[in-house]
């Protein structure tokens, strides 16, 4: 799959995500192939004929554009900037384009507070920059600690074992780290295994319930049929069962207290 080089009109954008003021997405599209991804709704706005996961746009002017946007502000940007909201900032193309790294260099110049969320161990490449921010948090998202299981649902992302090692390396280097258990798949994800596997690697944790109300159900259903057919009957109903998520959230609070972690929140759809 080729990468389209495009010129963005704006790169620092206000966010509609609760608790997030600004977002930066250096790329449009994603190639991790996560079957549960609900960001595919973005295709309504991108103008691409290809299916979600089959295209990637690199906003090649993003670092220079960000520099101009920050220079033109009347006051310094003191609110946290999130990388990224609808695409991973460390996709394989980042090795070539280095847009995320160059964006970080600009943000570091202004000491803008940042938070990063990725599924890629490539984030370690920029640890030299991340350590220099006065306010910086880096999270890696995962739905399981089982590498084989993950490869069925998110075939082109870094393996969970690689992500956990990345979190440990970041934390050992003094970077504030968090894990985002997203999405939590009923009967597939295991909350106790996740907490155990992340022990010593993170400062904070958040959990997001599987969203089956978006246009992602067909992908999830396909993998369940192929690999976990016994789980499929009633699965969609279970994912919408408030009682199930209530019990999981209660268990999460117990584990968070036991592991002495900060709780980011339990997010439902």
Residue 207 has pLDDT above 70, yes or no: yes
pLDDT at 52: 74
Q: What are phi and psi of 61, to 5 degrees?
A: -95, 5
Residue 262, SS3?
Answer: strand
Kindly list the structural domains of the chain, giving each domain's residue range(s) and its CATH number in brackets, ordered by start: 4-267 (3.80.30.30)
**More confident position, 15 or 141:** 141
Question: Model confidence over 126-140: pLDDT tens digits?
Answer: 999 999 999 999 999
Q: What's the average model confidence in pLDDT over 198-220?
A: 92
Q: What is the CA radius of gyration of the chain?
A: 18
pTM: 0.93
Question: Model confidence over 56-104: pLDDT tens digits?
Answer: 999 999 999 999 999 998 888 999 999 988 899 999 999 999 999 999 9
Question: Model confidence over 155-175: pLDDT tens digits?
Answer: 999 999 999 999 999 999 999
Which of 94, 82, 66 minimizes the C-alpha distance to 14?
A: 82
pLDDT at 55: 84
Cβ atoms of residues 232 and 225 within 8 Å: yes
Cβ atoms of residues 126 and 101 within 8 Å: yes
């Amino acid at each position: 799959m080729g990468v389209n080089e495009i010129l963005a009109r704006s790169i620092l954008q206000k966010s509609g995500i609760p608790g997030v003021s600004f977002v930066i997405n250096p790329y449009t599209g994603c190639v991790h192939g996560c079957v549960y991804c609900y960001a595919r709704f973005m295709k309504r706005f991108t103008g691409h004929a290809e299916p979600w996961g089959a295209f990637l746009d690199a906003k090649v002017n993003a670092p220079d554009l960000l520099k101009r946007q920050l220079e033109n502000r009347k006051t310094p940007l003191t609110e946290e900037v999130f990388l990224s909201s609808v695409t991973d900032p460390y996709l394989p193309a980042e090795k070539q384009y280095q847009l995320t790294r160059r964006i970080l260099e600009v943000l570091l110049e202004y000491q803008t507070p940042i938070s990063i969320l990725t599924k890629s161990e490539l984030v370690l490449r920029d640890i030299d920059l991340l350590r220099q921010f006065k306010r910086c948090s880096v999270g890696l998202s995962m739905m399981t600690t089982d590498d084989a299981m993950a490869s069925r649902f998110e075939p082109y992302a870094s393996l969970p074992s690689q992500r956990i090692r990345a979190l440990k390396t970041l934390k050992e280097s003094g970077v504030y780290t968090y894990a985002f258990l997203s999405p939590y798949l009923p009967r597939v994800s295991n909350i106790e295994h996740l907490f155990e596997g992340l022990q010593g690697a993170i400062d904070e944790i958040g959990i997001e319930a599987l969203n089956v109300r978006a246009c992602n159900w067909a992908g999830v259903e396909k993998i369940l049929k192929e690999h976990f057919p016994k789980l499929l009957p009633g699965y969609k109903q279970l994912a919408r069962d408030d009682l199930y998520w209530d019990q999981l959230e209660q268990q999460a609070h117990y584990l968070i207290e036991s592991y002495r972690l900060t709780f980011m929140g339990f997010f439902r759809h």
